[in-house]
Amino acid sequence: MRDRLVPNEAVLADTDAVPADIVADMKALGLFGLSIPEQYGGLGLTTEEEIRVALVLGQTSPAFRSIFGTNNGIGSQGLVMDGTPEQKALYLPKLATGEIVAAFALTEPGAGSDAASLTTAARRDGEYYVLNGIKRYITNAPEAGIFTVMARTDPARKGPAGISALIVERGTPGLRLGKIDRKMGQHGAHTCDVIFDDCRVPVGHLIGLVEGLGFRTAMKVLDKARLNIAAVCVGAAERMLRDALTYALERRQFGQPIAQFQLIQAMLADSRTEIYAARCMVLDAAQRRDAGEGVSTQAACAKLFASEMCGRVADRCLQIHGGAGYIRDYAIERFYRDVRLFRIYEGTSQVQQLVIARSMIRDAAGS
Ligand code: COS
> How far is the centre of ligand 1, averaged over its atoms, from the C-alpha of 215 (Å)?
7
* Residue 189 near ligand 1, beta carbon < 6 Å: no
Q: Are residues 235 and 300 in the same domain?
A: yes
Q: Are residues 72 and 149 in the same domain?
A: no
Instruction: Please report whether residue 1 resides in a domain.
Output: no
Q: Are residues 137 and 261 in the same domain?
A: no
Instruction: Please report whether residue 367 resides in a domain.
Output: no
Within 10 angstroms of residue 242's Cβ, the number of other Cβ atoms is 12
Instruction: Tally the C-alpha atoms within 13 A of residue 10's C-alpha that lie toward its C-beta.
Output: 5
Q: Are residues 245 and 346 in the same domain?
A: yes
Beta strand pairing call for 191-202 and 175-177: antiparallel
Residues above pLDDT 90, as percent of the chain: 98
* Residue 138 near ligand 1, beta carbon < 6 Å: no
Q: Are residues 230 and 343 in the same domain?
A: yes
What pLDDT does residue 367 have? 73
Confidence label for 161 from pLDDT (cuts 50, 70 and 90) = very high
What pLDDT does residue 148 have? 97
> How far is the centre of ligand 1, averaged over its atoms, from the C-alpha of 116 (Å)?
7
Confidence label for 19 from pLDDT (cuts 50, 70 and 90) = very high
Residue 27 CA to its chain's centroid (Å): 19
* Residue 116 near ligand 1, beta carbon < 6 Å: yes
Of the residues 182, 210, 238, which one is the last residue of a structural domain? 210
Instruction: Tally the C-alpha atoms within 13 A of residue 146's C-alpha that lie toward its C-beta.
Output: 29
Q: Are residues 247 and 328 in the same domain?
A: yes
Integer Cα distance of 297 and 357 in angstroms: 9
At 127-145, the pLDDT tens digits run 999 999 999 999 999 999 9
* Residue 73 near ligand 1, beta carbon < 6 Å: no
User: Choosing from 48, 238, 333, 346, which is the catalytic residue?
Assistant: 346
Closest ligand 1 atom, CA of 160? Answer: 22
At 257-316, the pLDDT tens digits run 999 999 999 999 999 999 999 999 999 999 999 999 999 999 999 999 999 999 999 999
What pLDDT does residue 3 have? 96
Q: Are residues 46 and 63 in the same domain?
A: yes
Residue nearest to atom 43 of ligand 1 (CA): 347
- The parent domain of residue 286 ranges over 216-362
What pLDDT does residue 110 have? 97
Q: Are residues 262 and 347 in the same domain?
A: yes
Q: Are residues 121 and 231 in the same domain?
A: no
What pLDDT does residue 33 have? 97
Reduce the DSSP state of residue 170 to 3 states and report it. Answer: coil
What pLDDT does residue 274 have? 98
Instruction: Please report whether residue 12 resides in a domain.
Output: yes
Mean pLDDT for the stretch of residues 77-91: 96
> How far is the centre of ligand 1, averaged over its atoms, from the C-alpha of 81 (Å)?
16
What pLDDT does residue 209 have? 97
pLDDT, the chain, mean: 97
Q: Is the pLDDT of residue 201 over 90?
A: yes
At 168-194, the pLDDT tens digits run 999 999 999 999 999 999 999 999 999
What pLDDT does residue 77 have? 95
Our answer to whether residue 49 is catalytic in this structure is no
Instruction: Please report whether residue 154 resides in a domain.
Output: yes
* Residue 115 near ligand 1, beta carbon < 6 Å: yes
> How far is the centre of ligand 1, averaged over its atoms, from the C-alpha of 22 (Å)?
36
* Residue 296 near ligand 1, beta carbon < 6 Å: yes
Q: Are residues 200 and 160 in the same domain?
A: yes
Domains: count for the chain: 3
Q: Are residues 176 and 221 in the same domain?
A: no
At 203-239, the pLDDT tens digits run 999 999 999 999 999 999 999 999 999 999 999 999 9
Of the residues 40, 69, 97, which one is the last residue of a structural domain? 97
* Residue 351 near ligand 1, beta carbon < 6 Å: yes
The CATH number for 152's domain is 2.40.110.10
The CATH number for 289's domain is 1.20.140.10
Burial of 212 (0-12, 13-18, 19+ CB in 10 A): middle
Residue nearest to atom 18 of ligand 1 (CA): 161
Q: Are residues 113 and 162 in the same domain?
A: yes
> How far is the centre of ligand 1, averaged over its atoms, from the C-alpha of 290 (Å)?
22
Q: Where are the alpha helices (DSSP H) in the chain?
A: 9-15, 20-29, 47-57, 62-72, 77-82, 85-97, 214-250, 262-290, 296-321, 331-338, 349-366
Instruction: Please report whether residue 306 resides in a domain.
Output: yes
Beta strand pairing call for 146-152 and 102-105: parallel
Closest ligand 1 atom, CA of 220? Answer: 1
* Residue 46 near ligand 1, beta carbon < 6 Å: no
Of the residues 176, 210, 244, which one is the last residue of a structural domain? 210
Instruction: Please report whether residue 63 resides in a domain.
Output: yes
What do you get for the CA distance between the two ends of the chain, in Å? 47
Pocket probe for ligand 1: among 213, 215, 227, 342, the residue whose CB has the most ligand atoms within 8 Å is 215
On whether the CB atoms of residues 122 and 129 are closer than 8 A, the answer is yes
Q: Is the pLDDT of residue 155 over 90?
A: no
The H or E element that residue 131 is part of is strand 128-139
Instruction: Please report whether residue 24 resides in a domain.
Output: yes
Angle, helices 214-250 vs 62-72, to 10°: value is 160
The CATH number for 41's domain is 1.10.540.10
